[in-house]
């Protein structure tokens, strides 16, 4: 029996969860928060990292240095319009994003958001399990596989589900620890 399609979908769910975690602002400057910010560059929406160099000179600062000085205002406008919650400082040559220190209340709020994201990832993994089992039940109904094969497939899919739910839990725990110990 082939479970590669099911496993691929579960892996994709995990990678989306990891990507979402990387975009969470945990008090430390992380250039990944700019991944979804696009700049109007000569009429087309372009990711910031394609029009500027992004560096992290200090733990709480990101510096954005555009390769073309004329796009500086557009970058500033795009950051202000995004939902990252940081006001850019433009000095005419570079844009600096200063990350404030996180207080205890804000940390708990972030952890609550992360737990919600983790639960959504687990639900998505379980949905993949349900789809996979339904597919095998349909095959059994059409007499393509036996009842024993169906039971074996259900067990294998459940093992995959447990593995990926556990992976979500590990990533959640690591991110919580990172946020609470900053």
Identical fold between 4-22+103-180 and 31-98: no
What pLDDT score does 73 carry?
Answer: 87
Residues 42-76 have pLDDT tens digits of: 888 888 888 888 888 887 788 988 888 888 888 88
What pLDDT score does 61 carry?
Answer: 86
Q: β-pairing, 61-66 with 52-58? A: antiparallel
C-alpha to C-alpha distance for 170 and 176, rounded to whole angstroms: 10
Strand order in the sheet with 61-66: 52-58, 61-66, 95-98, 89-90
What would the two tokens of residue 173 be? 């725990």
Say whether domain 4-22+103-180 belongs to CATH 1.10.10.10.
Answer: no
What pLDDT score does 101 carry?
Answer: 76
User: pLDDT below 50 — which residues of the chain?
Assistant: none
Sequence ranges of the domains in the chain: 4-22+103-180, 31-98
Q: How many CB atoms lie within 10 A of CB 128?
A: 22
Q: Which CATH class name applies to 31-98? A: alpha beta
What pLDDT score does 28 carry?
Answer: 67
What pLDDT score does 43 carry?
Answer: 81
């Amino acid at each position: 029996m082939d479970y590669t399609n099911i496993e691929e979908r579960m892996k994709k769910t995990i990678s989306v969860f990891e990507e979402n975690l990387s975009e969470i602002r945990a008090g430390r400057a992380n250039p990944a928060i700019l991944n979804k910010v696009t700049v109007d560059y000569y009429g087309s929406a372009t990711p910031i990292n394609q029009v500027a160099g992004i560096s992290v000179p200090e733990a709480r600062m990101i510096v954005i240095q555009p390769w073309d000085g004329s796009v500086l205002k557009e970058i500033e406008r795009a950051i202000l319009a995004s939902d990252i919650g940081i006001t850019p400082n433009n000095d005419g040559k570079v844009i600096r994003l200063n990350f404030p220190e996180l207080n205890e209340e804000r940390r708990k709020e972030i952890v609550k958001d992360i737990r919600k994201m983790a639960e959504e990832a687990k639900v998505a993994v379980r949905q993949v399990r349900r789809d996979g089992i339904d597919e095998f039940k349909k095959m059994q109904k059409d007499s393509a596989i036996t009842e024993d094969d169906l039971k074996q497939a259900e067990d294998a899919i459940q093992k995959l589900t447990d593995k990926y739910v556990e992976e979500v839990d590990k990533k959640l725990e690591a991110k919580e620890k990172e946020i609470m110990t900053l």
